[in-house]
A and B are shown apart, each in its own frame.
Chain A
Amino acid sequence: MTSGLSAMRPAAAAQLEGPLNLFTWGGHIEKTEFDDFFKETGVRVNFSGAAGNAEDLAKIKLGGGSQYDIVGVDALWVPKFYEEGVIEAFDLEKFSQYSDVADQFKKMAVWKVGNLWMAQPWAWSPLVPWYNAAHIKTPPTSLKFLWDPALKGRIVLNDQKEDTIAWMGVATGAKKPYDMTKEELAAAKDALKRLVPNILKFSPQDDEMITLMGNESVWVTIFNAGGGLRIKEASGGKIEAASVLPSEGYIGYFDGDCIVKGAAHRDAALAWMQHRMQTKYVAQNFERMRRPLAYKSPLDALKQEGKASLAHDLFYDQPEIISKMVIIGPPPNVGDYIDAFNEAVST
């Protein structure tokens, strides 16, 4: 594997203009990368954290390429961003590390326009219920355990309203949880209404969800593959959280970074994308974020370091799971999802 951008594209690296305005998820960056990228290219990276796909879409619409060069986007939101004309496709296959992209992503037609890509794949994970095994003795196999009255005020969920409604859709057997019919949506709303007594809060931050699990204020949350490890750390090693892949199905995501249409520093953006594909940064990101990534060589590196079981526990060696997940996306009737959520929790 080549190391350093200058080794990959010496001529281009010398002419890059910055700063690079990076607007993406906090989990997509390793701070050491910024310094390394600057040393190699002379381009500084301005990072601002993405908040949510819909909100970010609005920001990119308003700010455009003069304010943002790269934007981080989830799964089926990527085609939405492309349809709205705020991102442009690029030739990912010309990147020298393209061969390192996992096959499941290479086959992903939903992110492709002809031979060009709308996004550079980054991470993926199923989102699964994590529960405190000391309080929930019988390992659940279905989402039904969430409605157990013994869990009153013991669940914390992420404050993503459309995803919560989609989860209710999964639980109530909706065919397409992110594109439910009126009847399915009504059933999902009713399920959430019945679940409300068990929910302590909808948290806007992952860290808060982990903290609440770690101090046993709550016993159940829905989190990505690394939830168990993070909860254990937050509890000082006291809590063993177990996960369940529910029989009704589970939601999951894959995400990536896109080039904003008309990006003022497009070349720097492409250089950054190649720079971050290096094994050391991907592996570092895996260890910090505890969820699988879309690249193969870091998995080999982890195995060589004796971390094969960690990689397995966090699904890194099981990319076939991606095809079983209900993928996060923009509901065509997102307003109805938001209303259903607001009505269910405020009744």
Chain B
Amino acid sequence: MTAIASITLQNVDDARPIIESILADNPGARVMNMPGAVKIDCDHRLVIKRDSVEKRIGRSWTPQDIHLVLISMAGNLDEDDDYFALSWNA
């Protein structure tokens, strides 16, 4: 079975540029829409890049701001100033 890294965000304005950047930066990412929420799955690893989000919103953004729209996630988390990554080792 392929290990799936996953993140679920609220379906709100603040989250849309983040969702867009995930889809642009993670080839093969799959979107599941639920009322009020968006779940994005990607095999093995999924990354959110600070510069990619900032480019879309036109202002500075820190990966910790994700707390405001985060619902759930799956994978081992690696977080730093410039990225927020979820991955499985297997």
Indicate, yes or no, whether A interacts with B. no
Chain A residues engaging chain B, CB cutoff 8 angstroms: none
